[in-house]
Amino acid sequence: MRRLLNGIILSLLFILILNSTALATVGIENEVTAYLLGDYETGEILEEYNIYKPIEIASISKLMSYLVVMKQVERGFISLDDKVYIDEDVIQIKGSSLKLEEGEIFTVKELLEAALVVSANDATYALAKYVAGTEKDFVKLMREEAKAIGLESAFYINSTGLPEGELQNKMSTEDIFKLSRYIINEYPEVLFLTTIPYIELDNREYKEENTNPLLKEIKGIDGLKTGFTNKAGYCLVSTINIDGDYIETENLRLISIVMGTKSEEKRKELSKKLVQYGLNNYSKRILANENIPVDIVYMPKSKDKEIEIYPSKNFSIILKDGDYIDKDILIDEGLKLPLKSMDKVGKIVLSTEGNILEEIDLIIHKDVKKENLIMRILRNIKEFIVNVFKIDKLTIFRILIKK
């Protein structure tokens, strides 16, 4: 009876351990307003908390400002080499800045770098005025772009993210993710800007480091934008490219968003924790490679007998460590020889927990011919002798040689 009771207790403990593992989370929910970890390529959200509520975004607004400027460049209305005159209006802008002075001239490219690298409000405002004439008209362009790419929660009142009374720019964390993906896809050169370590002006004593605290912390981090206001808290959109080995894994780019932390140090700590969670738990697994055979099929009437079969296409998927994938190989019945290279011979079904992920045709990579009639007769004779007289193949070979 005691043994039975002990067995039941151990079983219950085992179940509890399994459940606690299955329900494990990133563990930063109580220290942020929201967070999101997602895959850049597919848009799949891997981990999330409170991502649908519109919240203050502070200088993360500058991602949309960057997008608007680049759209104007793409459409030919302005150039990255255009010269922008800094007027009295620009130098009144508060907060983090390039410390612009009236009468200075910068290129559009230089001001974009300052906006993204050191989160310069004055540089962003100068761009807004240059592109649209007034910041008010620039905000109209921001709203138009948000609508065009489906950012339903976006609410913009200025180009910088600075508070205006009780109002501030807002977006949901989900929409920040969408915007980040869109920018990296449309303008991948943004990642060259967001990895610039510092901005330095030779004509005066100005040197400010990149505001992204993870650039020096985690190898592979190459973006994207910080933000802070009293309402928004300390925020960070970061992105990292993880190199695959192209045998078992492919490259994976993650986007990590942490919103509303209490301090710069907490922003760094919690953002690092979220990125590291992604690195430790997720990979883009190669489940089918069109150049690697998945099985060998025995075809007794063929010349080669054992035929390698291959997936007709590549297939990869993001998996969390511990996820199990079922691979069921189904060979077509009634296959008739000869077969030609690239002929379909079956399919592989990839599934997890009963849910089918993908069905992929299986093909051959070389012609499969029928075995020559004489060779088939000789083989049948050999098999008959082996089976009847229990003589091994080597002995048969020696007998044939002697004769």
CB of 308 within 8 A of CB of 293?
A: yes
The dihedral of CA 140, 141, 142, 144: what is its sign? positive
Distances (CA, A) of 27 to 35, 38, 162, 305: 11, 16, 30, 55
| Gyration radius (Cα) of the chain, Å | 31
Distance CA 149, CA 33 (A): 24
Give the tokens for residue 64. Answer: 């949309």
Can you tell me the distance from the alpha carbon of 234 to that of 267, in angstroms, rounded to the nearest whole number?
6
Q: DSSP characters for 279-304?
A: HHHEEEEEEE-TTS--EEEE-TTBSS
The identity of residue 58, as a single letter, is A
Task: Give the Cα-Cα-Cα angle 57, 63, 69 (nearest 5 degrees).
Answer: 140
Give catalytic residues, as residue numbers: 59, 62, 119
Is 225 annotated as belonging to a binding site? Answer: yes
Token look-up 């992204």 returns 212
Ramachandran angles phi, psi of 224, nearest 5° = -145, -50
Measured CA to CA, the distance from residue 254 to residue 168 in angstroms comes to 28
In terms of DSSP bridges, do strands 326-331 and 252-261 run parallel, antiparallel, or are they unpaired?
Answer: unpaired
DSSP designation for 372: P
Binding site as annotated, residues: 225
Sequence ranges of the binding site for substrate: 225
